[in-house]
Amino acid sequence: MNTRVGAILAIVMSGTAAVSSAQSTRDLDRMNWMEFREYVPAKVQTVLLPLGTLEPHGVTANGADILAPVAIAREIAPRVNAFVAPVVPYGFTGSMDAYPGAFTVPEDAYRPYIRAVLLGLAKNKFKNIILVNGHGGGQTAVLSSVAAEVGREAGVRTLVVNWWSYASDVTLSVFGQDGGHAGENENAFMMAIDPSLVHKERYSPEMATANPAPGTWSAYPNPSSIGLYKAGEGYPTFNLAKAKEYYAKVNDKMAALIQEVITKWDKAGL
Ligand SMILES: [Zn+2]
């Protein structure tokens, strides 16, 4: 999954600077400080930061919320001329944290940690800090608020994208119905990354529960690790062809949003 970028950077920078033959990655943790200095901010101003958590996901991996945003970031980084920061894997989980293998970092520890990570990216001269978020619940609100705060204070531009929500129209168009937490959409995304991440033989529809309408009921722990956004829709069907189509379309939509927002920031002179 490591993204080789020599050819792409050559295209991006054709007519400008020569490409260092040593430059072979877009991953911040795989490049050395001299490579970083050559590229940021002169040639690369955008960083993609994947964020996830560990929590149960029906018959797919506890780390689905980590694996999905990492895959998205690596897939789209060349298209938006971005580097990829190491993922923040431990997150603010919510009512599924009682399940085996799940972790949660309390909000009072999570918030300042994320703030420090974002400030570190800003200090390293990235102008556009794109948070590719893989987990919902309370984490979305924390990330949106911290990202805006850091943008304001550090004079950088931040964007938070919750991929599964932003891609809900792709879910509808590919599968003909809504998805769910660990439902058709998220299972499909995992299958497209690696089919061995999904254990169809362990699945039964009784594992799923429709998410409660606001104000109706709430339970701790959540009684199911598959939460349907809409009753009767989003049960996994394990169709690999559709999974691949979904994966490609979600990544296209994510890349287009990031490109559009950056272009508009530039045009507005922000
Ligand atoms: Zn998930």
Q: Name the pairing type of β-strands 226-228 and 180-181.
A: antiparallel
pLDDT score, position 201: 97
pLDDT score, position 24: 67
- Expressed in angstroms and rounded, the spacing between residue 34 Cα and the centre of ligand 1 is 36
- Expressed in angstroms and rounded, the spacing between residue 246 Cα and the centre of ligand 1 is 16
- Expressed in angstroms and rounded, the spacing between residue 56 Cα and the centre of ligand 1 is 8
pLDDT score, position 19: 36
* Contact of 80 with 23, CB cutoff 8 Å: no
- Expressed in angstroms and rounded, the spacing between residue 174 Cα and the centre of ligand 1 is 19
- Expressed in angstroms and rounded, the spacing between residue 9 Cα and the centre of ligand 1 is 32
Distance of CA 224 to the CA centre of its chain: 23
- Expressed in angstroms and rounded, the spacing between residue 18 Cα and the centre of ligand 1 is 41
- Expressed in angstroms and rounded, the spacing between residue 36 Cα and the centre of ligand 1 is 32
pLDDT score, position 13: 41
- Expressed in angstroms and rounded, the spacing between residue 45 Cα and the centre of ligand 1 is 29
pLDDT score, position 189: 98
pLDDT score, position 216: 97
- Expressed in angstroms and rounded, the spacing between residue 181 Cα and the centre of ligand 1 is 6
3-state SS of the chain is CCCCCHHHHHHHCCCCCCCCCCCCCCEHHHCCHHHHHHHCCCCCCEEEEEECCCCCECCECCCHHHHHHHHHHHHHCCCCCEEECCCECCCCCCCCCCCCCCCCCCHHHHHHHHHHHHHHHHHCCCCEEEEEECCCCHHHHHHHHHHHHHHHHHCCEEEEEEHHHHCHHHHHHHHCCCCEECCHHHHHHHHHHCHHHCCHHHCCHHHEEECCCCCCCCCCCCCCCEEECCCCCCCCCCCHHHHHHHHHHHHHHHHHHHHHHHHHHHHHCC
10 Å CB burial of residue 149 (0-12, 13-18, 19+) is middle
- Expressed in angstroms and rounded, the spacing between residue 27 Cα and the centre of ligand 1 is 23
- Expressed in angstroms and rounded, the spacing between residue 23 Cα and the centre of ligand 1 is 33
- Expressed in angstroms and rounded, the spacing between residue 58 Cα and the centre of ligand 1 is 10
- Expressed in angstroms and rounded, the spacing between residue 161 Cα and the centre of ligand 1 is 14
pLDDT score, position 22: 40
pLDDT score, position 58: 98
Print pLDDT tens along the chain (270 aa). Answer: 444 444 444 444 433 333 344 446 999 999 999 999 999 999 999 999 999 999 999 999 999 999 999 999 999 999 999 999 999 999 999 999 999 999 999 999 999 999 999 999 999 999 999 999 999 989 999 999 999 999 999 999 999 999 999 999 999 999 999 999 999 999 999 999 999 999 999 999 999 999 999 999 999 999 999 999 999 999 999 999 999 999 999 999 999 999 999 999 999 999
pLDDT score, position 139: 97
pLDDT score, position 1: 44
- Expressed in angstroms and rounded, the spacing between residue 256 Cα and the centre of ligand 1 is 22
- Expressed in angstroms and rounded, the spacing between residue 20 Cα and the centre of ligand 1 is 38
- Expressed in angstroms and rounded, the spacing between residue 5 Cα and the centre of ligand 1 is 29
Measured distance CA(162)–CA(147) in Å, rounded: 13
- Expressed in angstroms and rounded, the spacing between residue 131 Cα and the centre of ligand 1 is 16
- Expressed in angstroms and rounded, the spacing between residue 28 Cα and the centre of ligand 1 is 25
- Expressed in angstroms and rounded, the spacing between residue 134 Cα and the centre of ligand 1 is 6
- Expressed in angstroms and rounded, the spacing between residue 146 Cα and the centre of ligand 1 is 21
Contacts of 209 (CB under 8 A, 6+ apart): 222, 223, 224, 226, 227, 228
C-alpha separations of 114 from 3, 166, 230 in Å:
25, 22, 32
10 Å CB burial of residue 151 (0-12, 13-18, 19+) is middle
